[in-house]
Amino acid sequence: MTDSKKRLWIWLIAGLMLLCIVASAISLCVGSAQISVADIIPSLMGQRGQADYSILVNIRLPRILLGFAVGGALSLAGALLQGIFRNPLVEPYTIGISGGASLGVCLAIIFDFHLFMGIIAYPLSGFAGALLTMFLVYFLSANKQVMRIQGVLLTGVMISFISSSLFMLIKSFSDDEDLRSIVFWIMGSLDEPNLALIWIAVGVSVSGLIISYFFCLSLNAFALGEEEAAHLGVNTERAKKILFVIASILTGLSVSVAGVIGFVGLVVPHLIRLFTGPDHRILLLASFLGGSAFMIFSDTIARTIIMPRELPVGVITGIIGGCVFIYALNKRKVNL
């Protein structure tokens, strides 16, 4: 690696980390109760009154932590899947994980699982649905212990359609209260009251990032094709299976905790790749940080743009992500 590339990577990571800090600072400051940047530290130390302390510690900081975890996890999962499939248009929800998680949460709402499971009913049901979908896609796509990439993609799309149809069927029989709960959850929100669940999300997302770095060179080799990667000494089947499981767990956790938040896993890795190139040694970390910053910014907009009401964060990520993606594609066509 040349010195110029090292410097470029250092500056890029430093810039993305700064972007995360700026996004977090803005999220801490803005809202129905305005808190200046200079008052953040005193408020966190309890020197500005109990009200400011409670707002920062109990409301805004948990949302920032969850945005960091969910945005980073979805973006990292997108980068991993795009590397496995060698297709920059693949996103985490393509393989049907979101459909399974949505169906699990929908069943939990209909059958009132929260009455005996408490506040973890929806996240636990969503994660169970995501894991069930992951194993179903894998076993339907595997042939004699060989994981067929195109088979995974096609099977995931079909299972996603089936899950969506079952989801719509359940919605058609739901009463008004259950229907509102289902629709609001589907559009995504970072309003999660369970702090333990938030820390679990942070731990799993960071662990996924660390584990994925053991396969960054394998992902670089995949860009040449599976046969060429095997000739370079990569255990392609083992790498595909582990990376698929990592991406699925990251996606399932994100969907079960925050709902279906679209475009993060598609747009962020695609845009980051325009700056870093296809080298996963920098792409994975840059995608994680970029997704975290994007999610925190989007959540800040969602909860402040029509105060005192709050928009689902999935609406904001869809609008911003779609517009940015179209602009990037058109700009790339012009450059070509």
What secondary structure, in 3-state letters, does the chain show? CCHHHHHHHHHHHHHHHHHHHHHHHHHHHCCCCCCCHHHHHHHHCCCCCHHHHHHHHHHHHHHHHHHHHHHHHHHHHHHHHHHHHCCCCCCHHHHCHHHHHHHHHHHHHHCCCHHHHHHHHHHHHHHHHHHHHHHHHHHHHEECCEECHHHHHHHHHHHHHHHHHHHHHHHHCCCHHHHHHHHHHHCCCCCCCCHHHHHHHHHHHHHHHHHHHHHHHHHHHHCCCHHHHHHCCCCHHHHHHHHHHHHHHHHHHHHHHHCCCCCHHHHHHHHHHHHHCCCHHHHHHHHHHHHHHHHHHHHHHHHHCCCCCCCCHHHHHHHHHHHHHHHHHHHHHHHC
Q: What interhelical angle do 97-110 and 176-186 show, nearest 10?
A: 150
**Rounded CA separation 76/82 (Å):** 10
- What are the residue ranges spanned by the domains of the chain? 3-335
pLDDT for position 68? 95
Q: What is the pLDDT of residue 276?
A: 85
Peptide bond into 62 cis (omega under 30): no
pLDDT at res. 330: 75
Residue 332 is predicted with a pLDDT of: 60
pLDDT 10s per residue in the chain (336 long)? Answer: 677 788 888 999 999 999 999 999 999 888 777 887 877 787 777 766 677 778 888 888 999 999 999 999 999 999 999 888 888 878 887 888 778 887 888 888 888 777 777 767 777 887 888 888 888 887 887 765 666 777 778 888 888 888 878 878 887 777 777 777 777 777 788 887 788 889 989 999 999 999 999 999 999 998 888 888 888 888 888 888 899 889 888 988 888 888 888 889 888 998 898 888 888 999 999 999 999 999 999 999 998 888 778 888 888 888 888 888 787 777 665 443
Q: What is the pLDDT of residue 21?
A: 94
What per-residue confidence (pLDDT) applies to 207? 95
Predicted local distance difference test score (pLDDT) of residue 295:
95
> Residue 125 CB: number of other CB atoms within 10 A?
23
Cβ neighbour number for residue 227 with a 10 Å cutoff = 9
Integer angstrom CA distances of residue 77 from 24, 58, 157, 253, 268: 22, 29, 17, 11, 11
CB 296, CB 20: distance < 8 Å? yes
Residue 334: per-residue pLDDT: 43
User: What CATH superfamily classification does 3-335 receive?
Assistant: ABC transporter involved in vitamin B12 uptake, BtuC (1.10.3470.10)
pLDDT of residue 63: 93
